[in-house]
Chain A
Amino acid sequence: MRYLARRALWTVVALLGVSVLIFLLVRLLPGNIVDILAGTEGQLSREQRAAVLREFGLDRSVPVQYLLWMRGMLRGDLGWSFRSGQPVAELLASRLPITIELAVLTVLAVTLIGIPLGVLASVSRSIRVKTLVQIVGLLGLSLPSFWIAVLLIIAASHLFGWLPALIFVSPWSDPWVNLQQMFLPVLSLALGLSVVVVRMTRSSMLEVLGQDFIKVARAKGLSARAVLLRHALRNALIPIVTVLGLQMGYLLGGVVITEQIFGLPGLGWTLLNGVYQRDYPVVQATVMLFAVTFVLINLAVDLLYTYLDPRIRYE
Chain B
Amino acid sequence: MARTGWDRGRGLSRRDLLAGGLALGGGLALGASARSARAQAAGAPRHGGTLVAAAEIDPISLDPHTNSNFSAMQAFDHLYESLTMYDEKTNVVPALAQSWEITNNGKTYTFKLRPNVKFHNGQTMTAEDVKYSIERVLDPKTASPWKSWLDAIKEIKVLDPLTVQMNLDAPYPLLGSFAGMRAAGIIPKGLAERENLKIKGIGTGPFKLVEYVPQDRVVYARNPDYWDKPLPYLDGMVFKVLHEENARLAALRAGQIQYAFLSAQGAAQLEGAPGIGVQKSPFAWVVLHYINVLKGPLADARVRRAMRMAVDTNEVIQKAAFGAAVPSGPVPTGYGDWYLDPKGLPYVKADVEGARKLLADAGHASGFKLEIKCSPQYPEFVATTLVIQESLKKLSIDVTVTQMEWGAFVAENAKSNRSCGREGSDVYASANTFRPDPDGYLYPYFHSKGDLNKGGCDRPYPRVDPLLVEARQSANHAERRRLYQEAQRILVEESPNWWWYAKFNIEAVTGKVRGYSQSFTGRRLFLKKTYLA
Contact = CB atoms under 8 A, between A and B. Distances in A.
B482 to A, nearest CB: 27
A295 B382 CA distance: 40
Contacts of A260: 243-244
A52 interface: yes
A42 B246 contact: no
A83 B253 contact: no
A24 interface: no
Contacts of A278: 407
A81 B69 CA distance: 17
Contacts of B405: 276
A33 B233 CA distance: 39
Interface string B343-358: 0000000000000000
A150 B244 contact: yes
A167 B143 contact: no
Contacts of B533: none
A66 interface: no
Interface in A151-190: 153-154, 156-158, 161-168
Contact of B408 (A31, A37, A262): A31
B280 interface: no
A167 B240 contact: yes
B250 A156 contact: yes
A158 B253 CA distance: 8
Interface string B56-81: 00101100001111000000000000
Contacts of A166: 52, 54, 240, 242, 251, 256-257
A41 interface: yes
A127 to B, nearest CB: 40
Contacts of B143: 34, 37, 44, 48-49, 51-52, 55
B143 to A, nearest CB: 4
A84 B407 contact: no
Contacts of A51: 140-143
Given A41-B433, A84-B198, A35 B247 contact: no
A124 interface: no
A273 interface: yes
Given A35-B407, A41-B433, A86-B199, A167 B217 contact: yes
B419 interface: no
Contacts of B406: 276
A55 B142 CA distance: 10
Interface in A46-101: 47-49, 51-52, 55, 81, 83-86, 91, 94
A89 to B, nearest CB: 15
A23 interface: no
Report, as a range, how many residues of chain A touch the other chain.
Answer: 35 or more
Interface string B122-146: 0000000000000000001111111
A261 B245 CA distance: 9
A84 B201 CA distance: 13
B144 to A, nearest CB: 8
Contacts of A43: 145, 147-148, 451-452
B254 A37 contact: no
Contacts of B411: 30-32, 35
Interface string A272-315: 01011110000000000000000000000000000000000000
Contacts of B69: 39
B165 interface: no
Interface string A252-275: 000000001111010001100101
Contacts of A154: 246, 250
Interface in A237-258: none
Contact of B196 (A85, A261, A265): A85
Interface string B69-96: 1000000000000000000000000000
Contacts of B410: 31, 35-36, 38-40
B443 to A, nearest CB: 13
Contact of B61 (A30, A83, A156): A83
Nearest to B182: A42
A29 interface: yes
Contacts of B257: 166
Nearest to A150: B246
B217 A31 contact: no
A211 interface: no
Interface stretch (B7-15, B22-30, B208-216): B208-216
A269 B240 contact: no
B407 A45 contact: no
A42 B58 CA distance: 18
A271 to B, nearest CB: 11
A51 B215 CA distance: 26
Given A31-B408, A276-B405, A86 B214 contact: yes
A157 B250 CA distance: 5
Contact of A161 (B240, B253, B413): B253
B414 interface: yes
Given A40-B413, A51-B141, A265 B213 contact: yes
Nearest to B238: A167
Given A40-B413, A167-B217, A153 B199 contact: no
Contacts of A162: 254
Contacts of A55: 143
Contacts of A32: 411
Contacts of B142: 48, 51
Contacts of A31: 407-408, 410-412, 414
Nearest to B433: A41
B250 A163 contact: yes
A91 B216 CA distance: 12
Interface of A: 29-32, 34-45, 47-49, 51-52, 55, 81, 83-86, 91, 94, 150, 153-154, 156-158, 161-168, 260-263, 265, 269-270, 273, 275-278
- 8 pairs of A and B residues whose beta carbons are closest in the complex: A42-B145, A31-B411, A39-B68, A157-B250, A42-B68, A163-B254, A265-B216, A30-B408
8 contacts: A40-B410, A41-B433, A85-B198, A158-B253, A161-B253, A166-B242, A265-B215, A278-B407
